[in-house]
Structure 1
Amino acid sequence: MRKICFLLLATILLFFNACKKEDIKAVSFADEAYEAWVNDSAMIKIAVMPTLDCLPIYVASERGIFARNGASVSLYSYAAQMDCDTALTGGWVDAMATDLVRAERLKKQGMLLSYLTSTDLHWQLVASKMARVKRLNQMENKMVAMSRYSATDMLVDMLVDTALIREKDHVFKIQVNDLGVRYSMLENQVMDLLLLPEPLASAASELDVNVLYDTRHNNINMGVVVMNDTAIADATLRKSQVEAFLKSYDEACDSINKYGFGGYRDLIRNRCRVKSSVVDSIPSDYKFSPSHLPMQNDVDRAVNWLNH
């Protein structure tokens, strides 16, 4: 009888001990789940493009600068600005690299956006060899590849006005959103004129094109990173993540300016989908500015064009 009581007591103790261990495991799993949820809720999911202005973001991500500064950032790559817009409005990403025209249009449509920083986004207007266009006033009756409701759309109008072309409707805007497709149209000589960002503008130089215009020479700075104001519900958490993002962005800019594009040849080649020779042909005076808000005159330029 005593032996049976002892066995029964031992069984009960083992049962409670097992339950205690399961409770500890449950608490541990709950803590891990909560930590994962906090980390995910603090993460900035950002849409990026295969363009050189996104290089500081790529560098900060792939070289561990974001992680070192406590910024939780996940990158989502798209080939067209329109796709970035869709990802942002659909809630798949919290922020995106874009231009002021697209950002101001989304704000006009009621989306709450904040500018995190300007970026060093530049475009060249290039003419294919078969177009035989060497001056802006020869744009009439030519097709221009661009994206609607973007800075490239605005630039075409601006250049048509600059060239004093009377028949403005005879400059044909052709919407080609995918940058890879746009560049292939230049390679295959099926488009007269194209607005290309770096590094595709440098890639175009290998195709014997005429460069008619470069935004770098006209102090037009339309590139920005914008963030949905509703992203990261906790205001304190959001502020700390944005500060860590901007600190990381600045460090990446400093590193690129110090070591040049050669130090990031493979990263540019993979992310921007260009050959190594193209990386080497990017102008050496192309520098990256530390984070700063867009200039008011650039914002006004975008708003005025949208309202025209």
Structure 2
Amino acid sequence: MKGKDCRKRKIGFLLAMILALTLLAGCGQEKAKEEGTGPKPIKIAVLPVEDTMPMLVAKEKGYFAEEQLQVELVNFQSPVEQSNGMQSGEMDGMQTDMIVAALLKDSGLDLRITSITLGVTPQEGRFAILASPQSNINSLEDLKGKNIGISYNSIIEYVTDGLLTAGGIDPAEVKKTAIPKIPVRMEMLFSNQIDAIVVPDPLVSFAEHQGAKVIAQDTEKNLSQNVLFFTQKTIEENRDGVEAFYRAYRKAVDDLNDHPEDFRTLLVENINIPEPIADAYQLQHYPQPQVPGQTDVQNILDWMNKKALLKNDLKYQDLVQEIKTP
């Protein structure tokens, strides 16, 4: 009996210690919040595109909450609205592409690209040149002298030039036509008002489903990378928050890559996936957070300088900063 009583006392003591430690940790977190020493809330400007998924998963699974971090994803419907929202000073970070990031940096917004969200490998974040089912265009050679619908001075034009050049075609040999709104671009393709267009997935997959021909795509050589940046002010004044963000982000990436079908509903509800392909569309493979390489960034900057899009002589270190999470 004495042995049993002793064991009970030990178990009781251990339970009391666990409870005390739990309460102490909770008090510490509350005190940190009161004193402003914990991570501050983070507000990120996003679009309804696939590279937002790890952030959506981190919120849904409670990974941000586990880090005692409040993250608000502010949705915009166009890159122009998103950039304007970022320049308002109300956002801490933004999900975008490297050309937009460089343009914002050049305009005076002090930012640092902290990770690639899609595009570490060529298979992630596909872009393609498409021709309509009725056209006689079947190769890059057939595009000479033809009209290609794009958006000027954008990642779309950068990918277009890269795909043409890789196929031995001088971009000057095609007629680029500005069609900024992607839905209009798609409509014009299928009504044969334009010879070809350039769009990203999931619209590439949708166009294929509708019979469009993929003339070239960036799945062998990496041309496009979507990125996430934070303002330098946020990185300096809320370093704990940014590090907590990426710890949660890493867990979400693992979940997405290990069990993609678990998140199809979340994808369909939050990302612009055309309804006819929603059930069959293959979810992306997502990279763990990592900064873009110097060559990829320099290629973008060289292209932008060639087109006289930048006023300042931007360097890799002006744009990129790695966040190491403890």
Give 1:222's aligned residue.
225
Q: Is the 8 A contact 1:126 1:212 kept in 2?
A: yes
- Call closer, same or farther: CA 1:200–1:36 in 2, change over 3 Å: farther
Verify: 1:258 aligned to 2:261, yes or no.
no
Within the candidate set 200, 204, 207, 1:204 is matched to: 207
Give 1:67's aligned residue.
65
Worse-matched range after superposition: 288-297 or 42-51: 42-51
Worse-matched range after superposition: 212-221 or 178-187: 178-187
CA distance in 2, matches of 1:167, 1:294: 26
| More helix per residue | 1
Q: Secondary structure at the match of 1:119?
A: strand
> Where does the alignment leave 5 or more consecutive residues of structure 1 unmatched?
1-31
Within the candidate set 133, 140, 143, 2:137 is matched to: 133
- Call closer, same or farther: CA 1:126–1:64 in 2, change over 3 Å: farther
CA distance in 2, matches of 1:230, 1:275: 38
Give 2:24's aligned residue.
none
Q: Is the 8 A contact 1:51 1:198 kept in 2?
A: no
Tell me how far 1:114 sits from its aligned partner.
0.9
CA distance in 1, matches of 2:242, 2:300: 25
> Where does the alignment leave 5 or more consecutive residues of structure 2 unmatched?
1-29, 119-124, 307-326
Verify: 1:82 aligned to 2:92, yes or no.
no
RMSD of aligned residue pairs (Cα, Å) = 3.0
Give 2:296's aligned residue.
298
Verify: 1:147 aligned to 2:146, yes or no.
no
Q: Secondary structure at the match of 1:126?
A: strand
Q: Secondary structure at the match of 2:219?
A: helix
CA distance in 2, matches of 1:195, 1:146: 6
CA distance in 2, matches of 1:257, 1:278: 20
Verify: 1:289 aligned to 2:287, yes or no.
yes
Tell me how far 1:146 sits from its aligned partner.
3.0
Tell me how far 1:99 sits from its aligned partner.
1.0
- Call closer, same or farther: CA 1:307–1:258 in 2, change over 3 Å: same
Normalization by structure 1: what TM-score?
0.76
Determine what percentage of the aligned residue pairs are the same residue: 25
Tell me how far 1:303 sits from its aligned partner.
0.5
Give 1:172's aligned residue.
176
Q: Is the 8 A contact 2:150 2:176 kept in 1?
A: no
Q: Is the 8 A contact 2:268 2:278 kept in 1?
A: yes
Q: Is the 8 A contact 2:163 2:217 kept in 1?
A: no
> What is the identity, as a one-letter code, of the residue corresponding to 1:205?
E
> What is the identity, as a one-letter code, of the residue corresponding to 1:66?
F
Larger Rg: 1
Q: Deviations over 1:251-272 (max 9, x none)?
A: 1111011112x21111111112
